Structure formats: C-alpha cells, structure tokens
Structure 1
C-alpha cells in the first residue's frame, strides 16, 4: 500500500491546522500503514482488582466541597447522524420542551446559585457543532465566567479512502474531514490555552462528560473523594448487564494498571471472554474526573501527544468506503499511575444515542427535578428497555410522526419491542413486557 502521508500533510497545512495536530495524524496514519491492530488479549489483561474500584455507596460526605476548584466540560461534537440529524444533536428537544443545551445550562446555573460558586462550564465543540451551539447559547448570557471562553473547538482529521489509504477528495470539502474523537480533548485543551487558563485561574479539577448524558451532573461526594485522595484520573463506571456485553469493558494489565478494552481490540477467538459480564463487570460511562496539574505534567512528558489507543472507524461517504482515525478520552486511564474507577448507579448514565433512548427519556419513566437533574420516577427501578424497528423509527422525523398524538406511558413498562409500522394515540400505556408485531394504530393500554 502506497504511503500518502505527504499528500495528507499538504491538505492539513492548507487547512491551517496546527503543526502538532498534523503530527498527531501522522502518528496514527503510520500505525494504519503498519497494520497495527491494537488488540488486547486475555493473556495481557485480567479483571480489575478491588483496590482499583471505589463504590459510590461507600462514600462519605466530604469535609470540603472543593467546588471552587472545579470546572465542567461537556463534549458537544456530535451531529446525531444515527438519528438522521444534520445539526448539533444537543439542539434536539429532549424533556419538557427543553433541549440538551437548555438542560445543561440550567443545571450549572442552578448549582452556582445553590453553592454560590462560579463553576465554569465549557463545551468542546467540533467544526460541525460550534456555530449552531454558540448561537443557541446566547439565550444564557450569564453562562460565561471570567475570562474563560464558553467553548473550544476540536481539530479535524482528513478522511482516508479504504481502497488505497489516500485522502478522500469529495467536491463538498466538509465531507472530507472528521472530528478525531473525544480523545483529542487533552491536546486541544493544551494548544488552545484552556488548560493553562484554568490552572492560572486556580482551578485544579475538571469533570468531563457527554452532552447527551443528562444524568452526568456534578456530585460533591465524588468530587470530594477525588480531591481528598489526590487522584490524577478517575472514571465513572456502571455494572454491565446482558444489554452491555458487546460494549467496551474495564480491565487491568498484569502490572495492575487500569485499561479499557473495546470490542475492536478483542481478538476474534476471545469474544466469549469479552462478553462475559461476570468476569468483566464494569463499563465506562465516559464521565471522567481529571486532575489538571497531573494532566499538564503528563502532556509535557509526552510532547503534548498522549499515547492513546487508535480507533479505526469504518464509514461511508456517498458510497465511498473511508476510515475515520479517532481516539477515546477514557483510554487515558491507562496513562496515569493510581488512576481509579468509581462504580455509580445507572441514574448517572442516561445517554441518548438512538431514537430508542430518546423515546424512553421523552416518556414518564423520567422526570426533570427542580435542579434540572434528569432522574427516574420514584417507583421506576431501572429504565425500560425499548427496541424499535429501524425501518420505521430510525430517524427523528419518523419517531415524531409515529408518536405525534402523544408519548406512551412507560413508567410501568420493563420492556417494549415494536416490530412493525405502528402509530400511537394520545393515552397509550404499556406495562410489563410488551411486544407489538401487528401494523396499525394503538390507542389502548397494553400489559403483559
């Protein structure tokens, strides 16, 4: 396979990308050329020791809240293409006529009022979401604090044609680029000056989470534990269920260092071990607590390029098969000695990735509290599992059309599976486990 690196470099230089961003792409492109797999075998890892795992239930109320030293960053680079969107996913209305950006903003403003601490909120946007998001956030002029900006923007990597590993050259230049994954956050914080600004302003800790996970809010007990134990890096994890067996899991190396293993990093003949939820019990929620001084030190040690595992993400652009080169921010757990994982309840993990998830959050299974936290209703022990036929419910437009009369009650429902083209009336209620296979309109209570 020919090496097209010089061509990629020329394209990136013309796009005025920082020299270190070009070096970052070069490092990962050469890994692709060399055929590196990034596989993590059973012989190299084991389940994490109890000493590396903290249970939220064991936490005590901290002596000091440490809130005056905390900043909050939300990852906001996604377009929601899996739901047919072509704008920032966080502009999508999600609860009580509020979108994700509304709820995140109202959460932090409420926290500031209650604690009288000016906790900064920053968004890491992509080139796809930057303008739309900042324009919308003008409705909350009080969000910005001090000299800190409201957002900083990810860089972009050129897409790679799978056929010959050359640059994609679509007539629409926007289609030739992809965000490099949220693992780039550490580099972007450094080269944008955000990291130094936070440190120089007296901030020592940052809580980073996905914008589409409204359960990820500042928790003073978690912050207190993280600060008082002087940890460099901590990841919130949840216990895996059968629903999670194909997702990445937490493990540790033979030397006792915590690591993440994604399904793409698992050798094919070890899938049974990977999916064994009794062996590997925890998954990453992508909510992280990071010590800013430790991060600065680690970046300086690595010439700003943290050695995060490469993710080669296959995609299609107008029929052309391409690769996106990406990294994940949770992979940094393997870089910090004494990093830990904290087991939290599922109420801190309510992501909206597909229309299935959105229907659950729209429903009465969830409610917004006065502090704008999204929580399950009192008698709902866990979110109902919803499966929607993607032929009819894959996009937001399809979902809204089928439920335009009203959202069914799901607070008594454990599982809902819809296998056909079904529309719903105003006062539909589901209870127990319900499977709908027939086409048509449903206007009554369904129980099983």
Structure 2
C-alpha cells in the first residue's frame, strides 16, 4: 500500500474564510488554491503508484513520487509567497569564498586518491546535436567517445599510482540501457564501474497542475529527469552513497560527462583534505560565451549558487555583466561523502527550484521542476569555490565545440586533452558554425576532414559550405553562403584572414 497519504501538504488558508470574501488578501487566495492543487496532485500520484503491480518496483516508484511530491509542494508554496531573491542582498563573493588555483598546495603523495571516487553525470541525450542515444557515446577524438576518454584517464590514474579510484555513472531513464550496453566493453580494464539511475519525475500539465502520465509505465515523453541536482537524492536512494562510505571512500569528484576538461586533480583533492571543506565548486573566469553560466554569490554572508533562471528579468543584464560576477560554475564539484550523508539524513537538500517550461509534441504546455547540483553549496560547512584554469572546462555542447576538440589544437595523453605546444596563444579560437552544421550527421558530411586550425583566431561559417581534405585556416576566416548559394573549399586550400561569400567553386580560390 502506498504511504504517500501520510505526507502533509503545506497548510492552506483558514477554511472558515472564503477566498472570495472582500478584504481577504490575495495571499490567502493563493494559499487556498495551493492547498487544493497539493491535494489533487497527491491523489493523482497515489493513483499512479497503484498502477504498479510488482511490490519491489512499487516501493521504489512510491519513494520517487514522494520526492517529486515534496518538490512540487515546495514549488507551490514558494509561488504563493513569491519568494524571489532580493537583488540588493546579493554581493560578489568575498575573497575567502573563492581560492585561486595557483595558491593551492602541490600534492606530494598519491595516497589521498584511495579515498576518492569519480562520478560522471551521464543522463544527457545529444538531441541538440541530432543524436538519438546517450551523448557520452559520441566519438570526439581519435575514434574515442567521451566515456572511452574517462575510462582511459581513470585507468591511467589507477595503474600509475597503484590506487583504486572507482568510476560511477549517473544515468537517466533516457540513457540507462545505452550506458549498460556500452560499458560491457570495459570489462577487462583496470577500474570498477558502477551505474545508477537518477529519478524519473512526471511532467506537470501547466493548465491543470496535474501529472502528464496516466500510468507508471506511460510513454517516455510524459516524464523527465529532474536535472543534476537530483544527484544527492539518487545517490542516497540507490544505495551507492552508503556503498562508497562502506568502502572507505571519503571524497567524490562530480562532473558532466561532456566536459572533457574535468579530469581528477590531486591539488584540489589535497586542498580539500587540508582545509576540511565539505564541498568545493570549481569556477572559472567568465568570457562572452559564458554569460548564462551560474555563479557563486554572497547572500547575507552565505555562499550560494545563482542561476540565470532565478534572476528577475530586470536584473538579467546585471547578471550577465562580467563586472559584478567575474566567474561561473563549471559544474565540477568535490563532495565530502560523510557530510553529504549527514545532511541527507538530517535536514535533506532544499535546492532552489528551476522551472523549465516545455511543450509536448502536440503543443501542450508542461513544466519541469529541476534543481542544480551546485546549489547544494549552501548546505555544507567550509564550502567555497576554487578558481581553476579554463582548461578544466571544455564542454562539447555543439558541433562548433566538437570541431575545436577534433582539431589539431588538442592531442590526447592517457585520455586527457592537451593543448598543442605549437599553438602560439593560450586561448583557443572562437568557432561559430551556422545551422547547416547543427546536427552531427551534417557536420560529418560537410567536413571531409577536420581543417588544420593551429593558427586560427576566429572562424564563422554560415550556409551551404563544404570543406575538402587538408584545408588550413589561419587568423580570422569568415565564410558566408547566402540562400541558394553553395561554397566548396577545395582539398589542400589555405585560407588566411579571408572573407568568402557568394557562389564559389574550386577554381575560384
């Protein structure tokens, strides 16, 4: 039997006063409707739980729905109170809240690595790049996928230092089967891989505030994985948190599987041990490309994460400004496991809710309530940021990013990307590929071979453009094929500080 009915919804307005009475504040009306919406949602979730017949599956699903219900009631309560951050109380972080990477002690002994586990958030589908499966299965460099590179890095760490750092993959219901299939090929490698599935929450119909799915095994499109902030709940409920602590692991390094710069760093680990910090967030300096990234703030003397979704519209430009907020969150996070267990057992994680509006295929408005892993920073003692070099943040979110990673700017050493020493500049070139290159299949078709870009500063390509083999790009190159035009860059062509537009064929260059 489901025990969801034991959950108490937020208290509604005094029932003896009708919400329509003159003079009753809108607050009363809002909390009265909140009470109704809570009750209705609870009944609907109970009904969903009853659609599961297997007792074990039912218990797990019930627990998941309770976590969702808790998030939903918080969302309604906050909406009724209009609990926005007060902009005037937000300050740039204090000096001690962000430690520069170059001030960290040099790690002398690898012993600390035996206390470490590595977790990759592996729930993403590469839909924005036209992929259908787990994004981590995309080949990014030298025929190796994101997962291959991670496995290679950790295996190198384990064999070189004779340590046992396990790899944990948090999948979503979208990527779980895919991931299990892929990791079979690592059976003989020198590392242990554990996978667990993050929560699956029902999408909420915006009009009615009811769950979109009608049964527990309803179509995938009615469910969503609730963001990487779900990490803490999922770690606890899957039993992985207790398993790690039982194995003597004390620290967990978490990062997104598509961030190729997020490799284990012994200096940050040593710094965490020395300072007894329970939580460290890696941040890096903002550039124009990062204006939307979450940032660490000082809110009433407490370190917190501020995401763009939480910023009132009139302050969005302030948020994007590099003057007030110079750094952003890379989502590389270091967590002290026993502290996490203490927090989860005692007060739990109240992470700021990010409301993600979506539309279903048939045009129905739904909302997804999500949370960000970095928002947990406020729950831990001694939590702070470490300002790391940009090389620790190399996400592949688009085909423009992919071109950079596949190019001769980077080479691989034990699964780790290393900038080519022949590159004259520290920063990497800015690459902007237009819509014709948006999907991975188009990208692969339009580049017969990845151009040489060691001396490139800036590349913009839009329209129907195709690259031959052994093309070299230097300086600033802008290639624009307008509507109805096509540009073919021939094999062996060198373009330096060139603007190309119009209809061009091989003979024109």
- 8 Å contact kept, 1:215–1:375: no
Shift of the alpha carbon at 1:375? 2.3
- 8 Å contact kept, 2:213–2:223: no
- 8 Å contact kept, 2:276–2:382: no
Aligned residues: 440
Question: In structure 1, what is the equivalent of residue 406 of structure 2?
Answer: 362
Does 2:58 align with 1:11? Answer: no
Shift of the alpha carbon at 1:398? 1.4
Does 2:452 align with 1:409? Answer: yes
Question: In structure 2, what is the equivalent of residue 420 of structure 1?
Answer: 463
Does 2:421 align with 1:374? Answer: no
Once residues 339 and 96 of structure 1 are traced to their aligned partners in structure 2, the CA distance between those partners, rounded to angstroms, is 38
Question: In structure 2, what is the equivalent of residue 308 of structure 1?
Answer: 351
Once residues 69 and 341 of structure 1 are traced to their aligned partners in structure 2, the CA distance between those partners, rounded to angstroms, is 21
- Structure 2: gaps (5+ residues): 1-32, 53-57, 498-509
Structure-to-structure mapping, 1:23-422, within 5 angstroms: 23-34=66-77, 35=79, 39-65=84-110, 66-143=112-189, 150-169=194-213, 173-255=219-301, 257-302=302-347, 305-318=348-361, 319-369=363-413, 371-378=414-421, 379=423, 380-390=425-435, 392-403=436-447, 405-422=448-465
Once residues 10 and 365 of structure 1 are traced to their aligned partners in structure 2, the CA distance between those partners, rounded to angstroms, is 55
Once residues 169 and 295 of structure 1 are traced to their aligned partners in structure 2, the CA distance between those partners, rounded to angstroms, is 32
Once residues 324 and 295 of structure 1 are traced to their aligned partners in structure 2, the CA distance between those partners, rounded to angstroms, is 25
Deviations 1:348-369 (A, max 9, x none): 1100111221121111122111
Shift of the alpha carbon at 1:346? 0.9
Task: Evaluate the alpha carbon distance shift between residue 423 and residue 48 of structure 1 in structure 2; reply closer, same or farther with a 3 A threshold.
Answer: same
Shift of the alpha carbon at 1:143? 4.9
Task: Evaluate the alpha carbon distance shift between residue 321 and residue 445 of structure 1 in structure 2; reply closer, same or farther with a 3 A threshold.
Answer: farther
Once residues 346 and 411 of structure 2 are traced to their aligned partners in structure 1, the CA distance between those partners, rounded to angstroms, is 45
Task: Select 1:441's aligned residue among 479, 488, 501.
Answer: 488
Q: Secondary structure at the match of 1:430?
A: strand
Deviations 1:387-427 (A, max 9, x none): 1212x122111111111x11112222122111212111112
Task: Evaluate the alpha carbon distance shift between residue 12 and residue 364 of structure 1 in structure 2; reply closer, same or farther with a 3 A threshold.
Answer: farther
Q: Secondary structure at the match of 2:87?
A: coil
Q: Secondary structure at the match of 2:173?
A: coil
Task: Evaluate the alpha carbon distance shift between residue 93 and residue 13 of structure 1 in structure 2; reply closer, same or farther with a 3 A threshold.
Answer: farther
Once residues 120 and 183 of structure 1 are traced to their aligned partners in structure 2, the CA distance between those partners, rounded to angstroms, is 21
- Structure 1: gaps (5+ residues): none
Please identify runs of 4+ aligned residues in structure 1 that moved more than 6 A. Answer: none
- 8 Å contact kept, 1:12–1:158: no
Once residues 209 and 478 of structure 2 are traced to their aligned partners in structure 1, the CA distance between those partners, rounded to angstroms, is 45
Q: Secondary structure at the match of 2:93?
A: coil
Task: Evaluate the alpha carbon distance shift between residue 163 and residue 56 of structure 1 in structure 2; reply closer, same or farther with a 3 A threshold.
Answer: same
Task: Evaluate the alpha carbon distance shift between residue 312 and residue 12 of structure 1 in structure 2; reply closer, same or farther with a 3 A threshold.
Answer: farther
Larger radius of gyration: 2
- 8 Å contact kept, 1:68–1:119: yes
Once residues 297 and 97 of structure 1 are traced to their aligned partners in structure 2, the CA distance between those partners, rounded to angstroms, is 43
Once residues 77 and 12 of structure 1 are traced to their aligned partners in structure 2, the CA distance between those partners, rounded to angstroms, is 24
Shift of the alpha carbon at 1:434? 1.9
Q: Secondary structure at the match of 2:165?
A: coil
Once residues 383 and 407 of structure 1 are traced to their aligned partners in structure 2, the CA distance between those partners, rounded to angstroms, is 16
Once residues 390 and 83 of structure 2 are traced to their aligned partners in structure 1, the CA distance between those partners, rounded to angstroms, is 30
Task: Evaluate the alpha carbon distance shift between residue 169 and residue 190 of structure 1 in structure 2; reply closer, same or farther with a 3 A threshold.
Answer: closer
RMSD (Å), alpha carbons: 2.0
Task: Evaluate the alpha carbon distance shift between residue 419 and residue 182 of structure 1 in structure 2; reply closer, same or farther with a 3 A threshold.
Answer: same
Task: Evaluate the alpha carbon distance shift between residue 38 and residue 99 of structure 1 in structure 2; reply closer, same or farther with a 3 A threshold.
Answer: farther
Q: Secondary structure at the match of 1:401?
A: helix
- 8 Å contact kept, 2:459–2:476: yes
Shift of the alpha carbon at 1:235? 0.4
Deviations 1:104-157 (A, max 9, x none): 1111111111010011111011111111112111111145867xx621111200
With normalisation by structure 1, the TM-score equals: 0.93
Once residues 47 and 131 of structure 2 are traced to their aligned partners in structure 1, the CA distance between those partners, rounded to angstroms, is 32
Once residues 88 and 223 of structure 1 are traced to their aligned partners in structure 2, the CA distance between those partners, rounded to angstroms, is 29
